[in-house]
Amino acid sequence: MTPDRREPDHVARVMAQWSRERPDLDPSPIGVIGRLHRVAMRLTEELVQVYAAHGLGEGEFDVLATLRRSGAPYELTPSEVAAGTMVTSGAASKRIDRCEARGWVTRRASDTDGRGRVVALTEDGRALIDRAMTAHLANEHRLVEMLEPDDRARLAHLLQVWGRALDA
């Protein structure tokens, strides 16, 4: 059943409540940020189901995908993995540990930096992320197909512009 687009959603009700209780405030940002937050939470629920179907958590998926998309020989330093997964080096290290324990990645000394380490995708890790990524992208296509193609493109552009502004 498709929701009635004319019915106020939860965020619209929250905004109306704030307008009633604090008419001196403009609650309009809640219309964007509140909805974006709710959509992000729902998308995460949908995404992690696919990861779990492949025996992966969100963090492990992210590490394997980062290594796989880096190209052959599918090796990065732990710092590069952290940057590619957009988490702290400590969080990346824990994720790498879990992947290493499952045999999906290895760690070794760097050939070029005596103190450095290299994280490498194993054959099992590569096969797993290739299967998981195929299912993940099919799932993402399913999720964005709820929007018209022009709306998807416009939304992607707006989020890019907003993200760059926040990063600046």
Q: Give Cα separations from 11 to 27, 29, 125 (angstroms).
A: 10, 11, 41
CB neighbours (10 Å) of residue 61? Answer: 24
Mean pLDDT on 84-90: 93
- Residue 65, token pair as written in the block: 């995908």
Query: In CATH, what number is assigned to the domain containing residue 107?
Result: 1.10.10.10
Number of domains into which the chain is organized: 1
The tally of CA atoms less than 13 A away on the side-chain side of residue 49 is 9
What pLDDT does 81 receive?
96
**Mean pLDDT score, 111-121:** 85
pTM for this prediction:
0.86
CA separation for the pair 63, 119 (Å, rounded): 10
Mean pLDDT value across the chain:
94
User: Per-residue pLDDT for 37 more than 70?
Assistant: yes
- Residue with the bigger pLDDT between 6 and 19: it is 19
Q: What value does the mean pLDDT take over residues 72-94?
A: 94
Q: Can you give the pLDDT at residue 1?
A: 45
Containing structural domain, residue 92: 55-168
Per cent of the chain over pLDDT 90 is: 90
Q: How confident is the model at residue 50, as a pLDDT?
A: 98
